[in-house]
Structure 1
């Protein structure tokens, strides 16, 4: 894994001092070769040992190893983006589109590295064995929950989306031990969803949380967690990266479920039915 990807993906789990080091490195990766560990510590107003411990926590032998690895990554990736000519709207849009695509690609790669194949397969296996699958989210997360529940339904799963978490406990009261509850929450801090997870697990059901890669309470109540990493300084851009990486993650789970030929056939039959209705 590239060192800068490691730093971005782990940033949400870091202490305040570690985040300061991480942010400095991410913003100045191309200049890091000129900094010794002591110079970096002086620039941030921290101890040299904090820099060394930061490097070791990320899996490197020490700061020189981290600096060398980052230097290699910067040299390998380079900076292919060319500045757009002033006043040329076409070039400006091309540059903007390229930057957005690159940012989405980074978010997708970080997210993929946070969710190893065995975890994705475990989520797919849990859904395959589910009697019913409940999907719940709040706000924008509810839109994602509904879309994923719809896709599950098209494969023949008994998937139920609830737009109001307050009404879910009544439905959960009838759940069975082989049922699965999917909880979508970007921040993972919604008390209502945490309470749902506790109730569901108390009845023997399994819980899958879908959140950012942070230490949040919802993850603590889940049997399995899907994690999303998406960071950007621009507040209006970061949600775009989050939803792009999240969609890619859910699409991968969906494709694994499509590996069942009977499920895939049911999906194809549904689309043939819809086409016949549209053509009528």
Structure 2
């Protein structure tokens, strides 16, 4: 349904993370080399890149264009700039130094997490969540904690949201939604089978489906009415550590945007939350 374009301001690693699953096998070889050995790629010509991964030069050009550049020279220049930005974060050796370096790079990467968002998709999703009769939040696997936090945070601003942990129960609940309801599906890859079945059940029921994902094109985006592409903090984190830090930060900001629609209602709900927190924390504070 919705397929937002590659963000023009997105770094190369973010672009690769968002579209890798849609690339042709030869283009994917080029993209993987860019991610795994960026310092090498920036020194190579298009032909040298092609020779290194065993593809034709035309595949390097097509891969560059699939990532949103006019050609390989433009990609190479952008990569050089990205590497320069990375070099600015180095707090030295030792546990504290390495920790600070990772935290700084993560903070920079989080600034890039919104680079693939489409404004119309975002505004449409906010409107759907704000005016829906019911909001049903769905996730399985590694995205479950993000979905749980989204449902809790929405409820805390007066926008009641439901979440069901069991995968089969999710599908049963989704099938009972109506065209006045919204099903928000959180899935990093957009390929979780249980989440896809629930999204399909929601579509069959006539409900609007909003996808919060890290890839621009997947089975989930094909089902969704609104697609919110949240770039992972880094491509390597997504592959090696299955990081959901970018999605976690995004849902916090999304809830604030929904709260702006509610205004007084959200303020009243937050006041009630503070009262409850005060009552429960009072005896533990010395």
Cα displacement string for residues 111-140 of structure 1 (whole angstroms, at most 9, x for unaligned residues): 311113332222111100111111122234
What does residue range 222-233 of structure 1 map to in structure 2 within 5 Å?
A: 222-230=224-232, 231-233=234-236
Query: Which has the higher relative contact order, 1 or 2, with Cα contacts under 8 A spaced 6 or more apart?
Result: 2
In structure 2, the residue matched to 1:269 is: 272
Distance 1:20 1:267, change over 3 A: same
- For residue 114 of structure 1, give the secondary structure of its aligned residue in structure 2: coil
What does residue range 237-252 of structure 1 map to in structure 2 within 5 Å?
A: 238-239=241-242, 242-252=243-253
What does residue range 94-113 of structure 1 map to in structure 2 within 5 Å?
A: 94-103=97-106, 105-106=108-109, 108-113=110-115
- For residue 179 of structure 2, give the secondary structure of its aligned residue in structure 1: coil
User: What CA distance in whole angstroms lies between the structure 1 residues aligned with 2:172 and 2:75?
Assistant: 52
Distance 1:92 1:273, change over 3 A: closer
Deviation of the 1:52 alpha carbon? 1.9
User: What CA distance in whole angstroms lies between the structure 2 residues aligned with 1:151 and 1:261?
Assistant: 15
Structure of higher CA gyration radius: 1
In structure 1, the residue matched to 2:48 is: 39
State the aligned residue count: 271
Structure 2 residue corresponding to 1:93, chosen from 79, 91, 96: 96
Q: Which 5+ residue runs of structure 2 have no aligned equivalent?
A: 1-8
Residue 216, structure 1, aligned to residue 218, structure 2: yes
In structure 1, the residue matched to 2:189 is: 187
Structure 2 residue corresponding to 1:144, chosen from 131, 143, 146: 146
Q: Which 5+ residue runs of structure 1 have no aligned equivalent?
A: 85-90
User: What CA distance in whole angstroms lies between the structure 2 residues aligned with 1:279 and 1:73?
Assistant: 48
Distance 1:147 1:220, change over 3 A: same
Deviation of the 1:152 alpha carbon? 1.3
Structure 2 residue corresponding to 1:69, chosen from 70, 75, 78: 78
